[in-house]
Structure 1
Amino acid sequence: HANCSGPAPAPKPDPDDGRADEWARELRLFGRVLERAACLRRCKRTLPAFQVPYPPRQLLRDFQSRLPYQYLHYALFKANRLEKAVAAAYTFLQRNPKHELTAKYLNYYRGMLDVADESLTDLEAQPYEAVFLRAVKLYNSGDFRSSTEDMERALAEYLAVFARCLAGCEGAHEQVDFKDFYPAIADLFAESLQCKVDCEANLTPNVGGYFVDKFVATMYHYLQFAYYKLNDVRQAARSAASYMLFDPNDSIMQQNLVYYRFHRARWGLEEEDFQPREEAMLYHNQTAELRELLEFTHMYLQSDDEMELEETEPPLEPEDALSDAEFEGEGDYEEGMYADWWQEPDAKGDEAEAEPEPELA
């Protein structure tokens, strides 16, 4: 779907006098929607994947949550394919780290095979995840040049995957009831909004059983300090400004920016060097606007029956689950999936050292 979701031909500009009637503006808006739909239809005709029926939305959500792996690991275990069972169980836990039963199975399988942490494989891992983890290891070892190279690559790869995720949210939608014109359009848009907002959480890496909080901001956090250590203060300042988009109240990063500004003449910095990077601005503005629109739909567009809390049933567990007795003496119950190399940047980015910092007002 992403291949067909590029920008449509540029629309005609609105009249400069600003006096266009409401009906005219609305018709132009829907005219652009029709043009984009026609363009999308022409593109999809050339792609065989779109000639088959679209899967149900619930099925897509099950795959997004990696639910099939919850059953696959047990089936593989019963088939005596333990190595594949380990990979399937670990893959499920990477998206569902608090699922205790699957964690228990994984420890049992690992105890039978003596599988080391570094041998665990996430079958659904995104390319940027391994690059990010390598960049963090290089950062912790003091190899800041290699760390910045990998972190920049991880950032670029994540943003590319994020853009594809947004495009995928504009696929087919199920219509389950009859509604008036505008509420029907709003429902379709709200469903797409929810999917797009979920992209950020669904693409966040799991490290040692914990999701990396504010993943994009964290990458700029590492870049800020690593660039400073490499004496590339221009990039350090821009990385700090980019981080502040996502956490404007971080006092340590505020002090870092004050430090860079105080010594701007020493490093030849201009005002533009204290502006966030372009891709950071785009990502921040895009995600903030999506969340704002979704919040509006939750507040004002929910139907009466949706306002009531519904009881949801937990997913079914595989039948014939192993009893506690079968686990006695088997395996080693570990709290984490990774060794203890994971660290936050020292002092949240390490206040720039080597010279005293000016006091914040």
Structure 2
Amino acid sequence: MWLALAALLAAAGAQYERYSFRSFPRDELMPLESAYRYGLDQYSTENWPESVNYLEVSMRLYRLLRDSEAFCHRNCSAAGQPPPAAAAAAAGGALAELRLLAGVLRRAQCLRRCKQGLPAFRQAQPGRDLLEEFQRREPYKYLQFAYFKANNLPKAIAAAHTFLLKHPDDEMMQRNMAYYKSIPDAEEHIKDLETKPYENLFIRAVRAYNGDNWRTSISDMELALPDFFRAYDDCTAACEGSREIKDFKDFYLSIADHYIEALACKVQCESNLTPIIGGFVVEKFVATMYHYLQFAYYKLNDMKNAAACAASYLLFDQKDEVMKQNMVYYQYHKDKWGLKEEDFQPRSGLAFWWKSCLS
């Protein structure tokens, strides 16, 4: 039995082997809801290969839609801003309101042009409930069992793990994972199929840090930071996508509802993007990266970067006594290391990002 199972444990392919935002396969372009519902229909009739195929397609269609929303909102973010002269002249009243609405119209025009050129928006758009189902990784619940029944144990193991990261208390999936872990060599297939590049960079950086390989740790951590910020910006941009209008409301109430819905989505972005490593959430993820960087730079005698990373960390945790002592230490020796007052400020752009998270 064990030999037969082990023979099935070929390397699990990545969930998004065929995914490309720039050149999405034409044969897979279809409405997200249609692909997903068809995959579930095939699941209910125990047509496992067909179910797997369409559930995987639906996962790629969901990513395409998210990436397309982020692409357009990122490219049109400046379209709604008034020219500097007009902004300075806006003192209030009806004129200011007209300028605000003009900005909304400019951005809407930009978004309309952008979306007309992207295949994801040429399909029937899914409802908010379905999008939230994908955000919660619900399709992996079905994929896990379909993979298992299709004798693809590597992907079944990976799908079960991917689902459990969002649903750690799901008893059925816990039992499935316990069974998978009893199979020889199963551990190598326990991977998050939705992992982001910055997560792998962070893990590599921490491993290098633990091995006192400071330069490698810094290199990977410095790559992880901007990649996380890009993922965060893409997440918040995607939150400004289409919304369902279920009833008729006053103009301003309708606008307010849209902004509240978008804001509620944006508030979840940081927690949704925070890595779960070894079953544990990396609390204060951005601050943690600066904590590692601060010490690594210190070990390389790069006090200028060490001080800036310490100041950046303190933006997120002003009560951390160890980091406060580090800052006192750097300031005490500033003449010895040639540090200036500006070297004790958080990194450029970080304060703006931090304030945007609070607002």
8 Å CA contact retained: 2:198, 2:223 = yes
Paired residue secondary structure (2:245): coil
Structure 1 139/195 Cα, relative in aligned 2: closer, same or farther at 3 Å? same
8 Å CA contact retained: 2:155, 2:189 = no
Supply the distance in 1 between the matched residues of 2:349 and 2:103 (Cα, whole angstroms). Answer: 26
Structure 1 277/16 Cα, relative in aligned 2: closer, same or farther at 3 Å? closer
User: Match of 1:260?
Assistant: 330
CA offsets 1:151-185 (integer angstroms, 9 cap, x no match): 11111111111111111111100111222121111
User: Match of 1:219?
Assistant: 289
Code of the residue aligned with 2:258 in structure 1: it is L
8 Å CA contact retained: 1:244, 1:253 = yes
Shift of 1:96: 2.3
Q: Bigger shift: 44-53 or 259-268?
A: 44-53
Please report the TM-score for the alignment, with normalisation by the length of structure 2. 0.76
Structure 1 82/167 Cα, relative in aligned 2: closer, same or farther at 3 Å? same
Supply the distance in 2 between the matched residues of 1:207 and 1:97 (Cα, whole angstroms). Answer: 13
Supply the distance in 1 between the matched residues of 2:349 and 2:174 (Cα, whole angstroms). Answer: 38
Residue 229 (structure 2) pairs with residue 170 (structure 1): no
Shift of 1:80: 3.0
Of residues 138, 144, 169, the one that matches 1:67 is 138
Code of the residue aligned with 1:135 in structure 2: it is A
Structure 1 260/238 Cα, relative in aligned 2: closer, same or farther at 3 Å? same
Code of the residue aligned with 1:50 in structure 2: it is F
User: Match of 2:180?
Assistant: 109
User: Match of 1:310?
Assistant: none
CA offsets 1:239-287 (integer angstroms, 9 cap, x no match): 0100111111111111110110011001100111000012321221110
Of residues 119, 137, 150, the one that matches 1:48 is 119
Of residues 257, 260, 263, the one that matches 1:193 is 263
Shift of 1:93: 1.4
8 Å CA contact retained: 1:97, 1:210 = no
Runs (5+) with no aligned partner, structure 1 = 290-361
Shift of 1:101: 2.6
Supply the distance in 2 between the matched residues of 1:49 and 1:63 (Cα, whole angstroms). Answer: 16
Residue 256 (structure 2) pairs with residue 183 (structure 1): no
Please identify which structure carries the higher helix content: 2
Code of the residue aligned with 2:154 in structure 1: it is E
User: Match of 1:131?
Assistant: 201
Residue 340 (structure 2) pairs with residue 285 (structure 1): no
CA offsets 1:286-311 (integer angstroms, 9 cap, x no match): 1011xxxxxxxxxxxxxxxxxxxxxx
Structure 1 17/83 Cα, relative in aligned 2: closer, same or farther at 3 Å? closer
Structure 1 149/285 Cα, relative in aligned 2: closer, same or farther at 3 Å? same
8 Å CA contact retained: 1:148, 1:226 = yes
Supply the distance in 1 between the matched residues of 2:202 and 2:265 (Cα, whole angstroms). Answer: 25
Aligned residues: 287
RMSD after superposition? 1.6
Code of the residue aligned with 1:201 in structure 2: it is S
Supply the distance in 2 between the matched residues of 1:234 and 1:192 (Cα, whole angstroms). Answer: 39
Shift of 1:217: 0.6
8 Å CA contact retained: 2:80, 2:103 = no
Supply the distance in 1 between the matched residues of 2:237 and 2:92 (Cα, whole angstroms). Answer: 32
Shift of 1:15: 7.1
User: Match of 1:205?
Assistant: 275
Of residues 73, 77, 83, the one that matches 2:148 is 77
Code of the residue aligned with 1:105 in structure 2: it is N
CA offsets 1:4-53 (integer angstroms, 9 cap, x no match): 222117523347577x3411111111111111111111121111221112
User: Match of 1:244?
Assistant: 314
User: Match of 1:2?
Assistant: 70
Shift of 1:134: 0.8
8 Å CA contact retained: 2:293, 2:309 = yes
8 Å CA contact retained: 1:72, 1:88 = yes
Supply the distance in 2 between the matched residues of 1:169 and 1:236 (Cα, whole angstroms). Answer: 35
The answer to which structure, 1 or 2, has the higher relative contact order (CA under 8 A, 6+ apart) is: 1
Runs (5+) with no aligned partner, structure 2 = 1-68
8 Å CA contact retained: 1:132, 1:151 = yes
Code of the residue aligned with 2:139 in structure 1: it is P
Supply the distance in 2 between the matched residues of 1:205 and 1:15 (Cα, whole angstroms). Answer: 40
User: Match of 1:58?
Assistant: 129
Structure 1 15/41 Cα, relative in aligned 2: closer, same or farther at 3 Å? closer
Structure 1 16/141 Cα, relative in aligned 2: closer, same or farther at 3 Å? closer
8 Å CA contact retained: 2:208, 2:214 = yes
8 Å CA contact retained: 1:221, 1:240 = yes
User: Match of 2:230?
Assistant: 160
Shift of 1:82: 1.9
